[in-house]
């Protein structure tokens, strides 16, 4: 990862924790140089705020939280899980 991409990953993780009350966040930078300098990220975010919320609305909630960072992101894969869903994946 380049230094800039690390900064983006860290910023995404911090935003998810502060705005979504995430209990677990992992943002993996998969940038491969084909994204015109923008980040290609894979995000796992676990929050109780996702309880009873449909998948599409969870993704919209994450996108809204990351709105300020989106100009620097080329592609974002989101896995937005409740704590129970996350535990079942382990």
Structure tokens at 37: 């300098």
pLDDT of 2 higher than 70: no
Instruction: Please state, for a pLDDT cut of 90, what percent of the chain lies above it.
Output: 76
The phi-psi region of residue 52 (left if phi > 0; otherwise alpha if psi is between -120 and 50; otherwise beta) is left
Structure-derived torsion over alpha carbons of residues 8, 75, 1, 16, reported in degrees to the nearest 10: 40
pTM of the model: 0.87
Structure tokens at 32: 């491969």
Structure tokens at 12: 């995404």
pLDDT of 82 higher than 90: yes
33-60 average pLDDT score: 91
Q: Over the stretch 10-43, which tens digit does the pLDDT of each residue have?
A: 999 999 999 999 999 999 988 877 667 788 999 9
């Amino acid at each position: 990862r380049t230094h800039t991409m690390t900064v983006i990953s860290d910023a995404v993780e911090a935003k998810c924790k502060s705005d979504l009350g995430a209990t677990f966040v992992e943002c993996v930078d998969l940038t491969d140089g084909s994204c015109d300098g923008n980040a290609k990220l894979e995000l796992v975010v676990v929050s109780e705020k996702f309880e009873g919320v449909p998948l599409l609305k969870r993704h919209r909630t994450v996108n809204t939280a990351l709105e300020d960072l989106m100009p620097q992101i080329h592609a974002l894969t989101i896995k937005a899980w409740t704590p129970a869903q996350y535990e079942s994946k382990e």
